[in-house]
Chains A and B, each alone.
Chain A
């Protein structure tokens, strides 16, 4: 029982957090489009939801505090209060307090500060032109003890056209056990407008059979309000999963009569009509009839009520791990089945392979989430930083619906934050400098996400001053990261930015300049097996692109062999496989070029690249892969076939081996390395270009390839 109530509080916190995120982004949008009534309504609704549900689940302080904000936005909605930067900033700080109150008691949560709340409320009253205590009938604004929240009626009534809604509400078996109280919900509903309620006891069994902790009562209501369906649904937002709820607009008298036959005589009032018990029974019977018509099936009214489920991330991770184990075992089974000449075993094995494959795909899809929430939360960061720095900056977002693995999303927040802070502080020029350069006074930071093969590209770009490559090199020489006079390419120079402790900032500010942020970005991206690419044009802007794998768990791979060793290439990158014979090599005069239907594709012989000294077969295979740099071929001895690859991380010692993105265990128990075609191509290109112009001595760049780093280190010693 206790844990149920607790679970419900946890669920409220979860959903409350989501509402707060939405509220925050609505507020920030409102700051830009101040006249948008939809945004005002969105803010108001979010506040209303937090207030009502907060009171319901015992967060009285939170509800009382939010109530005052709701009042302020009610004034805005009615045109009595104008939206100002001050109001937005005040509401944003209030939001932080609400968040703190929501998390109060959680481990590591920020402490809620009653004095800060009182201050916010005092400022709010001042803004609303009510410096003294609110008039009678309203609650004292700064009620920090806040024991009586949200019992006021009438603030939620819209001034739009009135409509009537028929609402059927029947709590489910677990409803009360979850800590919800239907009476509080009805009170909350009453705040939206005139409510007529009929409770039905028809489902209450005889006393002996009655489960005392279950709610058998159901309600038929008619609500006259200007609020829309969403606002009504919001009242039930936290209990929707455990009740039968129907909200229908009582458009015509006929349909209304169909819903509540006894409503003809009912007057619409904020008070419940106190009809006799017999009338209630009549309603109850009507309700039973209605149920019978629907064949006893409960019906939900809107498609947005589709059955979606909240599952704790830990359960999902466990599930995916189990699927991973299953995939490995299935590979063993397939291996064994292939060795035995038994058709029945082979058939079962194939069936299991098919099922495992679809199970794997499904489980991976479950973990995919759009990156929207992560992106949206930076609106606030940009808004606050712009204010602190005295710059005008706009955040634009592209591809927010791009989906990627939850684990990747979870770890993306920090690096993006550091990149944005860096852009805001160092990239974007102060307004006077922008004006002098003839740029728009409002700078732009653009966040983007898009898929590219088995990777996702996350971009952070700004239209600031760009990176001064010379200054970076100079600073790197000062810090002893490169030797003086080293010839670095642009990408090598920018890679220096991600070295620990590296900063070109002359002044350390609160926001950045300590040289920690970019190192964090690199470490996090490394741990996600991703890569960073920086492009910058002086005076025009900088773009940082993070290339991250779509998933960290299981991928479709192509198993290939070179000599005794097996490797896996991600299938998503592979375009085709073609044969490479000695005749082909002779035709190309020994150059590493293949002719693929008239197109010249350069290839890399992995045997040579990895220094494998077994004899070369007569016929080799070229895997043609698509990379960001174009098409490349990787030459292997043999293609063994498709395999579902459960990615295992390499040990810490091999963290900097960048051409290998992980390892996997094959059906026969051997280990195969998973190659990263992108890095492999970059590595090969860099090796070729370096051998052509001679390597810069001592330029041991960690962000570069491991091979190169090793060679350079040897050269130095």
Chain B
């Protein structure tokens, strides 16, 4: 294993951090507006509440970088006592962390007697990745909307 000098390492860490920052911003907004957007990127999770239900809309890639934020919003949505709907229409990527969060949220919603639905079709690339991972069934048999 070669010795990597401190400045080189630091530089590559910084570069990588910057790339991640550009790639995975998780943006939240409560008022249904477009939310904060980073230049040129179309990603984010938004939570919108109406009288009857709470809708969490996923846009762009929802992956590990957005997982903490996603969990927070799911907890918030399940805590409102209203029906929860996760809209996947705008999602371009879902990874394992997103799927297990939706699965866990669905379970806790059901335990507390709240209806939990998933709506919208995901792109072919996402659905084929989920199929390969055997995860499709955990999302779409639940789709009642």
Contact = CB atoms under 8 A, between A and B. Distances in A.
Interface of A: 1-3, 5-6, 9-10, 14, 105-107, 176-177, 181-184, 186-187, 190, 195, 197-199, 201, 204-208, 210, 212-217, 219, 271-272, 274-277, 280, 310-314, 317
Given A3-B13, A186-B133, A277-B138, A204 B1 contact: no
Given A190-B132, A217-B135, 16 more contacts: A6-B16, A9-B12, A106-B8, A177-B64, A181-B95, A186-B133, A195-B132, A204-B104, A208-B108, A212-B67, A212-B97, A213-B67, A272-B136, A274-B137, A312-B4, A317-B3
B74 A201 contact: no
B138 A183 contact: no
Contacts, number: 137
Interface string B88-107: 00000001110111011101
Interface of B: 1-5, 8, 11-13, 15-17, 20-21, 64-65, 67-68, 70-71, 74-75, 78, 95-97, 99-101, 103-105, 107-108, 129-138, 141
A3 B10 CA distance: 9
A204 B131 CA distance: 19
Top 6 nearest A-B pairs by Cβ distance? Answer: A2-B17, A212-B67, A199-B134, A197-B134, A6-B16, A212-B71
A3 B16 contact: yes
A212 B68 contact: yes
B1 A14 contact: yes
A187 B131 CA distance: 10
B92 to A, nearest CB: 14
Contact of A201 (B8, B100, B136): B100
Contacts of A216: 100
Nearest to B74: A207
A215 B95 CA distance: 10
B64 A176 contact: yes
Contacts of B2: 313
Given A14-B1, A106-B8, A207-B101, A5 B96 contact: no
Nearest to B78: A207
Given A183-B96, A207-B75, A212 B101 contact: yes
A217 B75 contact: no
A1 B104 contact: no
19 contacts: A9-B12, A14-B1, A107-B5, A183-B96, A183-B135, A186-B133, A187-B132, A207-B71, A207-B74, A207-B101, A207-B105, A212-B67, A217-B99, A217-B135, A274-B131, A280-B137, A312-B4, A313-B1, A314-B4
Contact of A183 (B16, B74, B75, B130): B130
A272 B132 contact: yes
Contacts of A9: 12, 16
- Looking at A9, A181, A210, A276, the one whose CB has the most chain B CB atoms below 10 A away is A210
B104 A274 contact: no
Contacts of A314: 3-4
B100 A215 contact: yes
A3 B4 contact: no
A317 B101 CA distance: 44
B141 to A, nearest CB: 6
Contacts of B15: 105
Nearest to B142: A277
Nearest to A196: B134
Nearest to B136: A274
Of listed B13, B75, B96, residue having the most chain A CB within 10 A: B96
A6 B96 contact: no
Contacts of B65: 1
Contact of B3 (A1, A199, A310, A313): A313
B133 A182 contact: yes
